[in-house]
């Protein structure tokens, strides 16, 4: 079988292999790297249904990577040994839905599933090549802590993480800023997540600066992030179909940056029997509006109780849009240019037709989110974090008797104690790992919302 290659959505970067794509992060032409093709795995589904999570991860990763099989197995085993559940990502029946728990990693968020692998891969690759890496990332909450915990103390790597000052939960901030290793640099940016993402992309597009300081990406612009997330769609979907006898499943996905639901989209295109992807947003509803109208129009970021979804510009949307324009990079470049100039773009949709038959989108505002948390705790004895609750609220509007609904639980509720307390009237969201952080010392620098300020700080502290 021919090795997988990767190309840029904007068409001006030479094709490359997996290792180069992961180390590159954002393509030099400003596009996102995507696989040159998606494998059709329908013939493998029956055999895959009985595999453990690491075994299934190996089968899927091996179709996208250029790593020796034994090295890939070791990287996968090391990455998922850090999880506290034997299934890594178990699916739990709760009332009318199946909850896919993605929070059993070191930082209690779904980002661990990808970032534990990515950090281990970075270390593996740098040891082989003798290189160094300065990771630059922007986070709306969970990516930052998962990335920091993945690379803290590792040789040859330094990490710079920007979070929007005052716009992540106190525990999310503490998980990042209490890591005091010399190779960790936390930046509180006086702006929104979208501002941090814009600064990050701008610095990556400065090829001279990127090469000089060996910048690498851990945000979901990095293909390895999306690839790792594809695995749990297959693991949960095949497991639920095996247990229920269903021919297809649905997935409800709370999303802000489109990376998590994009993995589900790719899983469906590879052959997983997905009846519908239920895309759920909070009040920051740019993606819900797109799948209702075909117009992608930026609005003002609204702070909510589900802060990791407080995003207006979803960086991974470009990968989906690339497919929608038949992988035509010139058309894609034109759309992104229009969006950059006007804050909006649109695709043609035939009268009476859905924007995409695979997707159904909905909005779970703050009041609905709190109500769902309260109801599931009272009726099912199950505590949802506010992001997961957004997904469950929208999912309940699209249940189908013959297609079990799998709701992605993206974080442990203890990461958002104030929202849980507001919902149920009691302080019951606890986790020992988070309790230990309350009095931990922290280190963080505040920077203005300016590209030149971040550029200067990275240049002064890069290894």
Q: Enumerate the β-bridge partners of residue 250.
A: 276, 405
Looking at residue 5, what DSSP letter applies? -
| CB contact set of 399 (below 8 Å; sequence gap of 6+) | 96, 97, 405
3 state DSSP class of 296 = strand
Looking at residue 44, what DSSP letter applies? G
Contact in structure between 436 and 108 (CB atoms under 8 Å): no
Tokens 């079990």 locate to 404
Active site residue 368: no
Q: Say how far apart CA 376 and CA 389 lie, in whole Å.
A: 9
Three-state secondary structure of 388-422: HHHHHHHHHHHCECCECEEEEECECHHHCHHHHHH
CA trace torsion 415, 112, 147, 216 (10° rounding):
-150
Q: Say how far apart CA 300 and CA 322 lie, in whole Å.
A: 25
Write the DSSP assignment of 300-333 as a string of letters.
-----SSGGG--SS-TTHHHHHHHHTTT-HHHHH
Q: Which residue among 2, 12, 46, 111 is the active-site one?
A: 111
Biggest CA-to-CA distance, the chain: 58
Of the candidates 205, 207, 115, the residue with the CA atom closest to the CA atom of residue 161: 115
* Strand pairing category for 33-35 and 344-346: unpaired
Tokens, residue 395: 């999912």
Burial 383-401 (b: 16+ CB within 10 A, else e): bbbbbbbbbbbbbbebeee
Contact in structure between 411 and 385 (CB atoms under 8 Å): yes
Write the DSSP assignment of 128-186 as a string of letters.
HHT--EEEEEE-SSHHHHHHHHHHTT-TTEEEEEEEETT-S-HHHHHHHHT---TTEEE
Q: Enumerate the β-bridge partners of residue 346.
A: 295
Catalytic residues: 111
């Amino acid at each position: 079988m021919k090795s997988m290659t990767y190309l840029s959505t904007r068409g001006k970067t030479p094709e490359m292999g997996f290792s180069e794509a992961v180390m590159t992060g954002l393509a030099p032409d400003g596009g996102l790297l995507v696989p040159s093709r998606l494998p059709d795995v329908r013939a493998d589904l029956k055999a895959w249904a009985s595999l453990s999570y690491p075994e299934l991860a190996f089968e899927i990763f091996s179709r996208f990577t250029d790593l020796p099989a034994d090295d890939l197995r070791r990287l996968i085993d090391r990455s998922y040994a850090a999880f506290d559940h034997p299934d890594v990502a178990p699916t739990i029946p709760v009332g009318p839905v199946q909850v896919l728990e993605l929070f059993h990693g070191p930082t209690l968020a779904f980002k661990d599933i990808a970032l534990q692998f990515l950090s281990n891969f970075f270390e593996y690759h740098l040891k082989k090549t003798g290189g160094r890496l300065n990771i630059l990332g922007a986070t709306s909450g969970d990516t930052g802590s998962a990335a920091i915990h993945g690379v803290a103390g590792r040789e040859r790597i330094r990490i710079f993480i920007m979070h929007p000052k005052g716009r992540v939960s106190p525990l999310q901030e503490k998980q990042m800023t209490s890591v005091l290793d010399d190779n960790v640099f936390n930046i509180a940016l006086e702006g929104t997540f979208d501002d941090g993402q814009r600064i990050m992309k701008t610095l990556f597009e400065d090829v001279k600066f990127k090469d000089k300081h060996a910048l690498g990406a851990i945000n979901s612009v990095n293909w390895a992030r999306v690839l790792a997330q594809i695995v749990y769609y297959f693991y949960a979907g095949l497991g639920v179909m095996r247990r229920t006898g269903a021919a297809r499943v649905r997935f409800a996905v709370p999303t802000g940056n489109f990376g998590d639901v994009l993995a589900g989209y790719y899983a469906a295109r590879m052959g997983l029997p997905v009846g519908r992807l239920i895309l759920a947003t909070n009040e920051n509803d740019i993606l819900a509006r797109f799948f209702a109208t075909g117009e992608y129009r930026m609005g003002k970021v609204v702070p909510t109780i589900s802060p990791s979804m407080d995003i207006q510009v979803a960086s991974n949307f470009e990968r989906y849009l690339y497919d929608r324009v038949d992988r035509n990079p010139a058309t894609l470049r034109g759309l992104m240019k229009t969006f950059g100039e006007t804050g909006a773009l649109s695709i043609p949709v035939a009268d009476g037709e859905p924007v995409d038959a695979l997707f159904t989108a909905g909005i779970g505002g703050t009041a609905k989110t709190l109500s769902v948390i309260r109801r599931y705790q009272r009726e099912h004895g199950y505590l949802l974090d506010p992001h997961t609750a957004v997904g469950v609220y929208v999912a309940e509007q699209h249940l189908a008797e013959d297609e079990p609904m799998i709701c992605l639980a993206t974080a442990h509720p203890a990461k958002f104690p104030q929202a849980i307390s507001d919902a149920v009237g009691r302080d019951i969201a606890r986790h020992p790992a988070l309790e230990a952080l309350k009095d931990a010392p922290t280190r963080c620098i505040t920077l203005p919302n300016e590209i030149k300020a971040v550029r200067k700080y990275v240049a002064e502290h890069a290894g």
